[in-house]
Amino acid sequence: MRRHINTLNGLITLINDDPLAPSPDLPVSSVLAQMIETVVKTTNLSININSTTGGVHSPRSFHYHGQALDINRLDGKRIDDVSNGAAVQVFQQAVAAHADVAECFGPFINIRKRGALVEQRPDLRIRHVNHLHISSQT
């Protein structure tokens, strides 16, 4: 089942950094939406989601199934802003610890989970220094 992500009174915004690209305000899996809302509430950090099911991603991407999103800003600052490192790390740790996470790629953590199996993917860091890629298992 798909649904729109709750903006939690402005803690979550959905603005694409490319005005010509598809809006990220599209339905995603209810599991992904709930996971992101829970992490935002837990960390009390605001986020901007700049991609969900639209845009161009790798051919087997979870984005096309409504199970992935990209975050380009955290607490109003870009993910690659060095002054935002501590907040990005806290957010990634909360996502990585969530039971429903399948992928958490970014500047600090790069893991893929399949059930209890956790695969470290440090090779993916270089493609995720300016955004967080997060996907859910369902």
Predicted local confidence at residue 14, as pLDDT = 97
Predicted local confidence at residue 64, as pLDDT = 81
Q: How far apart are CA 126 and CA 104, in angstroms?
A: 13
73 with 87: CB under 8 angstroms? no
**What average pLDDT score do residues 13-35 get?**
94
- The answer, yes or no, to whether residue 57 has pLDDT greater than 80, is no
The full set of domains in the chain, from first to last, is 2-136 (3.30.1380)
pLDDT tier at 115 (50, 70, 90 boundaries)? confident
Predicted local confidence at residue 65, as pLDDT = 87
63: closest CA among 19, 108, 20, 16? 16
- The answer, yes or no, to whether residue 93 has pLDDT greater than 80, is yes
